[in-house]
Amino acid sequence: MQNTIKLYRPVGKKELELIAESGFKVYPPRLDGQPIFYPIMNFDYAAQIAKEWNAPDAFSGYCGFVTAFDIDADYVSKFEVQNVGGFEHNELWIPAEELAVFNTHIVGNIEVLAAFYGDKYVGEKIY
């Protein structure tokens, strides 16, 4: 059995749509000006970002989702954990050019664990 670790990723509406188009198998390439892909090490921090950053943000569609996935622990161990605030604010920094390879190490499907909608969200709630 393969040794895996669970990681989390807060995403907005468009990114979630692209994940769904892949059959919930991969994360889409980073946009210009986004040099890193940063999966989060715990659910609470990912939920904080989805709620406080994505949900009030027009570019995110005024909604944020917490996605989760299992990844090959041996592969992902080559990336140093980055702490960007409090003790729970741990994430990995994956260079954008490495994301395609990173995606091949995802085991199983990407799941949606939580949804947050901002005051300006318009439309049917997805999750």
122 is a domain residue: no
Which residue range is the domain that position 21 belongs to? 4-117
74-107 confidence digits (pLDDT tens): 999 999 999 998 889 999 999 999 999 999 999 9
3-state DSSP of 27-73: CCCCCCCCCEECCECCHHHHHHHHHHHHCCCCCCCCEEEEEEEEEEH
126 is a domain residue: no
Terminal alpha carbon distance of the chain: 32
SS3 content of the chain, % helix, strand, coil (to 5): 25, 30, 40
124 is a domain residue: no
Q: What is this structure's pTM?
A: 0.95
3-57 confidence digits (pLDDT tens): 999 999 999 999 999 999 999 999 999 988 899 999 999 999 999 999 999 999 9
Based on the structure, what is the number of domains in the chain? 1
Name residue 96's amino acid.
A
